[in-house]
Amino acid sequence: MKLTSYLLLALCSAALFSACDDEAPSTYDEKVVVDGFMWIGQRMEIRLTHTVPVTEPYYADSVKVTGADVRVTVDGSTYSLTEANSGVPGIYAASEDAPLVTTGERYDLVVVASGDTLTAASYGAGAIDITEAALVDEGNSVVDLNPDTLEYGGNELRLTWTQDPTNFGYMIFMESLETSKYGESCDMGDDNGPGTYFTNWAVRYANAQNMPWIGLCYTGRMQFRVFSCDTVWWNYASSIIVGDLRNDPLTNIENGLGVFCAIDCDTFQVMVTDTLED
């Protein structure tokens, strides 16, 4: 299970409120975006892109920021993250002899790119494992300890995971790997992942969460991602408003956008079906 849907009402509401908003600003200031998800137990690695005006198309290959100077300081030592180490333009990674990302360590980032200097800091969150995925009935009694199907109108899926006192909280994302219940394709292309992502549940202290079928509008293979959160990732993910072009999530990047954090994630997949009568 270890690593690397929105309801129509929500979509209609987003469209309604965006249509009633003020006109977009007339000036555009391009910003460097830090995709700084470092994973516990893996090498230090981040991705750099830049923003584009909302009036222009977004192409993954055209927004990569290359040739940047990227450094991360941890435990008194500074390490260069380079594109040569990753082998991919726009992705900056530490060398093989650099220490792996570790729980509890402080990480300080400095990026010099496009004439700007960006800084950020974060502490490594705890590792996480999904220990149980079970179907439960209305009374929260377990009816299936090894489910491979989640049925619309049926039981709920309960995910249980390990906890660590280092973590600020936990975040659950859902990812549709196939198609929407309403017919749309969920294939966003290789650069953006195989499905549609959105924040679903955020919990501070609990180590389990029921995932009701009514919160899903995608049939087919569904993947649940459970994250251990430091304060940075919790604040960023909790402030994302999917579909709102004016959304400005809380960021820890000084003089830029995005997020720099050290977290962990575990996943569970299940087949969502709609064979019961609507």
- Report the pLDDT averaged over residues 52-67: 89
The amino acid at residue 161 is W
In a domain, 228, yes or no: yes
Per-residue pLDDT of 70-127, as tens digits, reads 999 999 999 999 999 999 999 999 999 999 999 999 999 999 998 899 999 999 999 9
Residue 256 has pLDDT above 70, yes or no: yes
End-to-end, the C-alpha distance of the chain in Å comes to: 32
In a domain, 74, yes or no: no
In a domain, 72, yes or no: no
Looking only at Cα atoms, what is the longest distance across the chain?
A: 61
Closest CA to 238 of 230, 24, 48, 49: 230
Contact predicate 197/223, CB 8 Å: no
What is the helix, strand, coil percentage profile of the chain, to 5? 10, 45, 45
Q: What is the pLDDT of residue 274?
A: 76
Closest CA to 43 of 100, 84, 92: 100
Per-residue pLDDT of 170-189, as tens digits, reads 999 887 776 554 444 444 44
Range of the domain at 212: 130-239+263-273
- Report the pLDDT averaged over residues 230-256: 81
Alpha carbon distance 78, 107 (integer Å): 10
Alpha carbon distance 62, 59 (integer Å): 5
In a domain, 216, yes or no: yes
Alpha carbon distance 200, 205 (integer Å): 16
Contact predicate 224/271, CB 8 Å: no
- Report the pLDDT averaged over residues 141-170: 91
**Mean pLDDT across the chain, nearest whole number?**
81
CATH number, domain containing residue 213? 2.60.40
Alpha carbon distance 195, 202 (integer Å): 20
Q: What is the pLDDT of residue 154?
A: 84
In a domain, 221, yes or no: yes
- Report the pLDDT averaged over residues 12-25: 41
Closest CA to 215 of 262, 267, 150, 261: 150
pTM of the model: 0.78
In a domain, 159, yes or no: yes
Closest CA to 207 of 149, 259, 129: 129
Residue 191 has pLDDT above 60, yes or no: no
In a domain, 28, yes or no: no
In a domain, 199, yes or no: yes
Count up the domains in the chain and report the number: 1
- Report the pLDDT averaged over residues 190-214: 68
